[in-house]
Amino acid sequence: MARRFVAQTEEQKLLNEQQFSEVFLEYLQILDDFDASIRNQMQRMKSIRYHVDHGIEEHPDLCKRLYREFEEQKQKKNLYNNEQKRKKA
Contacts of 63 (CB under 8 A, 6+ apart): 55, 56
41-86 tens-digit pLDDT = 999 999 899 888 888 889 999 999 999 999 999 999 999 999 998 8
* 26-31 mean pLDDT: 96
Q: What is the pLDDT of residue 6?
A: 63
Q: Which amino acid, one-letter code, is at 31?
A: L
Full-model pTM: 0.49
CB within 8 A of 56, min separation 6: which ones?
A: 63
User: Which tens digit of pLDDT belongs to each residue from 51-62?
Assistant: 888 888 899 999
